[in-house]
Structures are given as structure tokens and as C-alpha cells.
Amino acid sequence: MRRHLLLMATSATAAIVTLAGCGSAGSSGTEAPPSSATGQGCAPVAGNELVVLTDDKHLQNTDNVIPAINKKASSPQLIAALDKVSAALDTTKLIALNKAVDIDRKSSKDAAAEFIATNNIAAGLEKGSGNITVGAANFSESATLGEIYGQVLTAAGFKVKVQQIGNRELYEPALEKGQISVVPEYAATLATFLQGKVDKSGKDPSSSDLATTVTNLTALGEKVGLVFGKASEAQDQNAFATTTAFADQYGVKTLSDLAAKCSGAASVLGGPAECPQRPKCQQGLVDVYNFQAGKFSSLDAGGPLTKTALKQGTISVGLVFSSDGALAAG
């Protein structure tokens, strides 16, 4: 299970409609929902390198990496050490970390140590003490971030254990109870998760504005005994990618470019089966950008099927995760 409450439907009804509407979609491509597209579109272009198109109208929310901390385990020294990690981490570096582990097959521990050394994070830390358990979710990016937190806290004088636990439904209650002390989290997704636990009003606490998301997350955290370090610039969120060959051929760098130049019959959008009706996937591309794909190809959520389809030239644009190691510069 990845970190996101990925492509959430706006209601249970919407989810039912999505499952019914997408059941027959196949990997060879199906007609997209009815659209007003009249343009020729942009046929897929094969290539080995992928690039994310800039979300210039902020369709996606701010899933920046942020340390989530049990309030009783928190201390100024602990927060200062974690904030130093956040200050050094951006999306480009997170992509490089994921490439090191997922593609180059380094261990999360080794990739973490190299990142800390390269960015001189362990120098000049305020010295703390006590036992700290760093939790991580069951995917490689979280494991690597957990190792970075653990090694930096060790350098700051804490006695640290790093423990990979599982999905958010398992580790977040353990964090509340103090069974673990700190977890690398994602601001918008955790805010939405906590909202569902403490306030079922339906108001979305996440935003395309990071300050708003963190303000709402902080307020929700107070209700369950959690505090937070500073959010990093690194984001791992839904994104739309093309091959660099496609981007160069059609002159697209942003999602606005894609909508303006590539709406039409030749364009093929790839993603998970639920994408056409989800507000952060195809429906969002229509509502926010007025991008009208000619066909939709049912693949996976940012996984190997989508990335392979992009590289082989069977889809024009596909849903990926913005920190995927496959997005590293060649």
C-alpha cells in the first residue's frame, strides 16, 4: 500500500459509479468519457526517459514529506534534528534516493547514509538523549526516509530503533499510543486520514497551498497527541508524466500546455481503472485544465504497467508518483 489515499472518490456513490463504469476497460485502450474535444490530439511517442508535466493550476494537493511525532516523545533536540533533514530534502533528491534503492538496488540504510553525508546533515546537531523508535511504512521510500531519520537522530545522541511496520492504519495508532516515536509522513494524505478519524464533517483539510495543509494538519494532530516538524520541499503525490521525446516533439512542459496542444482523438491517457471518474485523475484534468483525451487505457496507479506503456509509446500521458526513481535524469 502506497502512502496516498490515492484518487479518492468524492463519495461512496462516486466510487460505485467508478467501478461500474471502468469494468470493461482494457490495457489496449478504451474510449474516454464523452468530451468536447475536437482537436487532433498528440499520439504517443516512445522513449526511455520520463518527465513530469508541471501542475501549474495546482490540481493536486500538497503531499510534502513531514515528520510526524508522538507529542510525549518530542523534544527540541529531536525536532531540530528532523527539521535539518527536511531542510535538505526536495523532490529531486527524493527521486534520487528512490532511484538508488528501487533501480540501483542499494539498501535503504546505505542510501540514507550517503544522503546524510552528502548534505552534511549530521554536523552540528543539538545533543539529545533517550530511546526513540522510528516507524516506517511498507514501501521503499518510507523505509529510506525512516533510515534517514534514524541515523540523524542517532548522530544527535538518541538511542534509536528503526522499525518497518505496515500501512497507515497500523502505524498511525501506534504513533498515537507512543509505541513508535516518529514516522515520515505526507502532509495532505495524513491530514485527510486524521480528519476521517476525529472529524467526519466531510470538509477536506488538505489543500494545494502547503501552509494551509500544515495548519489544518497541526490542528488535527493536537486532537490525537501528535506534533510535527517542518515540512520538506519534497513531494510525493499524484503527477502526470510523458516521455521526454513526447514533451520535446509537442512542446509541452505543463498540464496547461498538454490541454492546449494535445486535446483530441490521438491522445491516450493511462492510469488505474478508477481514473476517469476521480477528481485527482482524468476528471480533474477535464475540470481544471479542460484536457480531453481521446482514449483511456486502464493500467495501474503509477506502477510498471503505466511506465512501460509510456516508454513503449502506447499511451501519451500517464499517472505516476512525483518522486518515482524512474523520473531521475539520465
Contacts of 172 (CB under 8 A, 6+ apart): 183, 190, 193, 194
Q: Which three cell numbers stand for residue 272?
A: 488505474
What count of other Cβ atoms lies within 10 Å of the Cβ of residue 143? 21
C-alpha distance across the termini of the chain, in Å:
28
Q: Are residues 100 and 170 in the same domain?
A: yes
Order of strands across the sheet that contains 238-243: 30-31, 293-298, 264-271, 317-321, 238-243, 50-52
Give residue 12's pLDDT: 31
Distances (CA, A) of 51 to 13, 54, 236: 34, 9, 15
Q: Does a structural domain hold residue 2?
A: no
Q: Does a structural domain hold residue 242?
A: yes
Q: Are residues 106 and 47 in the same domain?
A: no
Q: Are residues 89 and 212 in the same domain?
A: yes
Q: Does a structural domain hold residue 80?
A: yes
Q: Which three cell numbers stand for residue 145?
A: 526516509
Distance CA 93, CA 74 (A): 26
* Cβ atoms 224, 218 nearer than 8 A: no
* Cβ atoms 277, 18 nearer than 8 A: yes
Distance CA 286, CA 113 (A): 43
Give residue 38's pLDDT: 55
Which of 166, 196, 228 lies at the terminal end of a domain, its last residue? 228
Give residue 10's pLDDT: 40
The H-or-E segment that residue 140 falls in is: helix 140-155
**Residue carrying the nine cell digits 516515536:** 181
Q: Does a structural domain hold residue 247?
A: yes
Q: Are residues 180 and 283 in the same domain?
A: no
Give me the domain span that covers residue 165.
65-228
Q: Is the dihedral angle over the CA atoms 70, 64, 293, 313 positive or is it negative?
A: negative
Q: Are residues 27 and 139 in the same domain?
A: no
Sequential DSSP letters for 6-37:
TT--SSHHHHHHHHHHHTT--TT-EEPSP---
The pairing of beta strand 159-166 with beta strand 317-321: unpaired
Average confidence (pLDDT) per 10 residues, the chain, 330 residues: 46 27 34 54 97 96 97 98 98 97 97 98 96 96 98 98 94 97 97 90 87 97 98 97 98 98 97 94 97 97 96 98 89
Which of 204, 228, 252 lies at the terminal end of a domain, its last residue? 228
Closest Cα to residue 276, out of 30, 65, 27, 13? Answer: 30
Q: Are residues 90 and 133 in the same domain?
A: yes
Q: Are residues 42 and 123 in the same domain?
A: no
pTM of the full predicted structure?
A: 0.87
Q: Are residues 85 and 212 in the same domain?
A: yes
Q: Does a structural domain hold residue 1?
A: no
Question: Residue 180: which CATH number?
Answer: 3.10.105
152-189 burial: b if 16+ Cβ within 10 Å, else e: bbbbbbbebebebbeebeebbebbbeeebbbbbbbbbb
Q: Are residues 105 and 220 in the same domain?
A: yes
How many residues are listed for the chain in this entry? Answer: 330
Give residue 17's pLDDT: 26
Taking the mean position of all CA atoms in its chain, how far away is CA 136?
15
Which of 228, 248, 265 lies at the terminal end of a domain, its last residue? 228
Order of strands across the sheet that contains 65-70: 159-166, 131-137, 182-186, 65-70, 226-228
Question: Residue 273: which CATH number?
Answer: 3.40.190.120
Q: Does a structural domain hold residue 7?
A: no
State the Cα torsion 267-271-273-274 to the nearest 10°. -100
Domains contained in the chain, number: 2
Q: Are residues 55 and 91 in the same domain?
A: no
Q: Does a structural domain hold residue 3?
A: no
Q: Are residues 166 and 209 in the same domain?
A: yes
Q: Are residues 70 and 219 in the same domain?
A: yes
